[in-house]
Amino acid sequence: MKIKEINDGYTTYELTDEECRKLLKEGDNALQYTYPTPNSGFAVALMTDKGNIYTGASYASDTHNLTMHSEAVCLARAAQHGETRIAAITGPNCHNCKQLIWESSIRSKIDTVIIIEEEGEIKQVPISTLMLYPWPDRDGNK
Ligand SMILES: [Zn+2]
């Protein structure tokens, strides 16, 4: 992982193909921890700016609206280890989770990269490019 660019006070990291594939694999491996039924929901993995990896698996509720998405679980797990500077996270992600990742990005000033594998090709997409009219804006204004 290296710094790809620093723009407007935001750092964007670039992972190696090997790191991307490792993250995607760790996310897939975490599917076994989906709750209440293993391998039935969603799972992701993230990499912090220190290069540490955390995984998250969805935790479903019968109410549906109390279901915790794997991204929320993953970000919370990293935060519980004092790690809130997220360089990359696997995707694609639902819009609620894009919002969570965006807010994390604003706080850390890291333009978190979404790692997506599409037809065998790895793509690294900065969260800022997925938020056309973000709330709050990049300066934190609501
Ligand atoms: Zn989600």
pLDDT, one tens digit per residue, over 78-103 is 999 999 999 999 999 999 999 999 99
Query: pTM for the full model?
Result: 0.96
User: How many angstroms does the Cα of residue 75 sit away from the middle of ligand 1?
Assistant: 12
At residue 127, the pLDDT reads 98
- The model's confidence at residue 140, banded by pLDDT at 50, 70 and 90, is confident
pLDDT of 18 > 90? The answer is yes
- The model's confidence at residue 138, banded by pLDDT at 50, 70 and 90, is confident
User: How many angstroms does the Cα of residue 43 sit away from the middle of ligand 1?
Assistant: 10
Q: Where are the alpha helices (DSSP H) in 13-94?
A: 17-29, 70-80
pLDDT of 139 > 90? The answer is no
Q: Is the separation of the CB atoms in 66 and 90 below 8 Å?
A: no
Mean pLDDT for 63-81 is 97
User: How many angstroms does the Cα of residue 135 sit away from the middle of ligand 1?
Assistant: 17
User: How many angstroms does the Cα of residue 61 sit away from the middle of ligand 1?
Assistant: 14
- The model's confidence at residue 62, banded by pLDDT at 50, 70 and 90, is very high
Going by their DSSP bridges, the two strands 113-118 and 86-90 should be labelled as parallel
User: How many angstroms does the Cα of residue 70 sit away from the middle of ligand 1?
Assistant: 7
Dist CA 61 CA 30 (whole Å): 18
Mean pLDDT for 36-51 is 97
Q: Which residues keep their CB under 5 angstroms from ion ligand 1?
A: 69, 94, 96-97
Q: How many CA atoms lie within 13 A of 75 on its CB side?
A: 24
